[in-house]
Amino acid sequence: MSIQIQKSFAKGESAVLHEGAGTLYLVATPIGNLEDMTYRAVRTLQECDIIAAEDTRQTRKLLTHFDITPGKLLSYHEHNKKASGPELIRLIIEGSSLALVSDAGLPAISDPGQELVKLALEQQIAVVPIPGANAALSALIASGLSTDRFTFIGFLPRDHKGQEEVLGSVKHGAGTLLLYESPHRIIKTLTAIAHHLGNRNVVLARELTKRHEEWTRGSVEEVLEWLESHPPIGEYCVVIEGQSIIEAKAEASEWWQQMTIEEHVIYYENKENISRKDAMKKTAKDREISKRDVYQVLLNEEE
């Protein structure tokens, strides 16, 4: 793979990597309040030849509010991306500048924009972000939970197996978890979180930057109890407390507690494909006992 260098704003050098091509701009739109829109985003939409939108009806309302008359307003969403994506890339290669927007927030986050970016870079087209509002990060910074490290999950799978795989993969992480959820699935998702991650502290942020913005902070069980008398309304960002380092170490040190010494030794023999002698040594170290003690227990079991 050859290295790719893009100098988006260097004077005297083309911003594009593909000779004669336009630029793909990723333009953030409001997540609720129209004042989330930046001056730069408005100017970019005014100047671009084409605007590709997730929902053209929604985007047209936004453009009308800011008195923006698009050269072309085209549709690009999950259901037409395979056909529309290559066509949009063709237009950029021919020299058109294109602004990609989603219905709310940053494009390419939990929407097919990421695939258009990949197609553009494969064709040596410059990709320039026009930053702005983002629901997940807005929820994180006001949640009161740690912002040092975090993992964005997006929407959880709907099936139990998929949920188990995703939540299981992040269960032992110390970082805060972020995900999106719809009002009719939020209770099921919180129940899954309680089952797979335990009764952690969570924050529900709904209707962010809108008039009815609301924050619910508490343990998973407390939040579920709250929702019983306050039916879910609006789209949610869910912020979940990460596993603390102390908890992670404690859990890691106790994984063998339910095993007998013999089972413990057999576990190491099978998992690491080592000799019984080495397995006994590791078992003794885990349990902070002597290797002789382990040997004696095994000897008694054999008798």
Strands 176-181 and 150-155: parallel
The alpha carbon of residue 176 and the mean position of all alpha carbons in its chain are separated, in whole angstroms, by: 11
CATH topology of domain 136-248: 3.30.950
**Do 23-133 and 136-248 agree at the fold level?**
no
Domain definitions of the chain by residue range: 23-133, 136-248, 255-302
When computed from its CA atoms, the radius of gyration of the chain, rounded to whole angstroms, is: 26
- Residues with Cβ < 8 Å from 127, sequence gap 6 or more? 6, 23, 24, 26, 117, 120, 121
Over residues 132-173, the pLDDT tens digits come to 999 999 999 999 999 999 999 999 999 999 999 999 899 888
Please give the residue that has the higher pLDDT: either 103 or 298. Answer: 103
Q: Strand, helix or coil at 186?
A: helix
Classify domain 23-133 at the CATH topology level.
Answer: Cobalt-precorrin-4 Transmethylase; domain 1 (3.40.1010)
Q: Which of 27, 22, 51, 46 is nearest to 130 (CA)?
A: 27
CA distance 97 to 83: 19
* H-helix segments, 153-215: 160-170, 186-197
Look at residue 13 in the predicted model and tell me its pLDDT.
54
CA 21, CA 9: separation in Å to the nearest integer? 15
Give the pLDDT score at 19.
74
